């Protein structure tokens, strides 16, 4: 028994070292630097709470965090609706496993390209003289171009949904494929409608996948900065952009403090989500 324990420790040592070097150490350094001080031309080691005091007493910080949470919430709603719909169709309406795999791979094709390329591709489509406005004008739907299609919250959320929907589809599809099809037949035999079966059978059994997808999408949106910068035309801000601006100004302590607050916020959200579903037990 003792030998098995030693072997287990030896096998875990390389992975533990990787986590220590590439995860724990960088996060610890960020936390340490967040307590340092800074001037216009230098930073200096210290242990002070000035950075946190400034952030937690600034209205700008609360507005930026609210904006970030707004993007995360709206993106989550749309990715969840799309993810459940696509996963349900692939899992229960496509009978052939070959077609399931083929259609699933078809969903992943756009994600083989760079996120930036896929994001920027919306600009000529949504622009004032872009394809969307030109088509709507030619069809007589509108008389003049819609200004809010680009460089607005709409374009930011559209880009987020486009970029991160796959992270919701994959875990939900994986969970739905584990559902015993006989449960669907039993629900139908009991007189349940399609919507009742979906709500009372499929959704409850798909909670682990929904929670995993939620964690992916929320964490990615909360930490993103490049999408907000390009798709809002630098008219909107989120926490990621605030950190980027501090780094550009060489205000590393302030950027670190903001990153720590963001990390704590995301961890609290993930911890809250995990209280609803024990992912390790149900998977």
Q: What is the DSSP string of 110-149?
A: GGGS-HHHHHHTHHHHHSTTSHHHHHHHHTTS-SS--GGG
Mean pLDDT in residue range 9-31: 85
For residue 92, give its domain range.
51-282
- Residue 64 domain flag: yes
> Which two three-digit tokens encode residue 197?
């079966």
Q: What is the C-alpha to C-alpha distance for residues 148 and 143, in angstroms, rounded to an integer?
A: 15
CB-neighbour burial class of residue 38 (10 A; exposed 0-12, middle 13-18, buried 19+): buried
DSSP 43: E
- Residue 69 domain flag: yes
Q: What is the C-alpha to C-alpha distance for residues 77 and 82, in angstroms, rounded to an integer?
A: 9
Q: Which of 70, 72, 43 is nearest to 256 (CA)?
A: 43
Indicate the number of domains in the chain.
1
- Residue 219 domain flag: yes
- Residue 63 domain flag: yes
Question: What band does 3 get if pLDDT is binned at 50, 70 and 90?
Answer: low
Q: What is the C-alpha to C-alpha distance for residues 213 and 164, in angstroms, rounded to an integer?
A: 9
List, in sequence order, every beta strand (DSSP E) within the chain: 37-38, 43-44
pLDDT of residue 5: 64
> For the chain, what is the mean pLDDT?
88
- Residue 43 domain flag: no
- Residue 95 domain flag: yes
- Residue 20 domain flag: no
> Which two three-digit tokens encode residue 204?
């409850």
> Which two three-digit tokens encode residue 239?
């926490």
pLDDT of residue 71: 96
pLDDT of residue 218: 94
Q: Determine the 3-state secondary structure of 100 from DSSP.
A: helix
Within a 13 Å sphere around the CA of 83, how many CA atoms are in the beta-carbon half?
33
Question: What band does 281 get if pLDDT is binned at 50, 70 and 90?
Answer: low
Question: What band does 128 get if pLDDT is binned at 50, 70 and 90?
Answer: confident
- Residue 233 domain flag: yes
Q: What is the C-alpha to C-alpha distance for residues 280 and 283, in angstroms, rounded to an integer?
A: 6
Q: What is the C-alpha to C-alpha distance for residues 23 and 39, in angstroms, rounded to an integer?
A: 29
C-alpha dihedral (149, 151, 152, 153), degrees to nearest 10: 110
CATH at 227: 1.10.3720.10
């Amino acid at each position: 028994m003792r030998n098995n324990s030693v072997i287990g420790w030896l096998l875990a040592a390389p992975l533990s070292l990787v986590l220590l070097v590439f995860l724990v150490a960088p996060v610890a350094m960020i936390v340490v630097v967040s307590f340092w001080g800074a001037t216009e031309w230098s930073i200096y080691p210290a242990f002070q709470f000035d950075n946190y005091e400034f952030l937690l007493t600034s209205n700008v910080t609360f507005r930026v965090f609210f904006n970030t949470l707004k993007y995360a919430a709206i993106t989550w709603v749309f990715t969840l609706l799309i993810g459940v719909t696509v996963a349900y169709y692939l899992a229960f309406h496509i009978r052939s496993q070959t077609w399931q795999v083929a259609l699933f791979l078809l969903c992943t094709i756009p994600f083989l390209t760079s996120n930036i390329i896929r994001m920027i591709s919306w600009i000529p489509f949504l622009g004032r003289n872009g394809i969307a406005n030109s088509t709507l004008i030619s069809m007589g739907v509108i008389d003049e171009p819609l200004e809010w299609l680009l460089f607005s919250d709409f374009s930011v959320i559209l880009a987020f949904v486009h970029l991160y929907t796959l992270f919701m589809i994959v875990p939900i599809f994986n969970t739905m494929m584990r559902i015993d099809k006989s449960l669907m037949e039993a629900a139908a035999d009991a007189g349940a409608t399609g919507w009742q079966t979906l709500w009372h059978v499929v959704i409850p059994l798909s909670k682990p996948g929904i929670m995993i997808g939620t964690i992916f999408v929320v964490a990615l949106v909360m930490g993103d900065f490049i999408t907000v910068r390009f798709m809002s035309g630098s008219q909107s801000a989120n926490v990621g952009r605030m950190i980027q601006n501090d780094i550009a100004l060489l205000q590393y302590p302030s950027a670190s403090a903001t990153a720590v607050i963001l990390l704590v916020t995301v961890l609290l959200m993930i911890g809250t989500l995990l209280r609803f579903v024990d992912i390790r037990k149900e998977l």
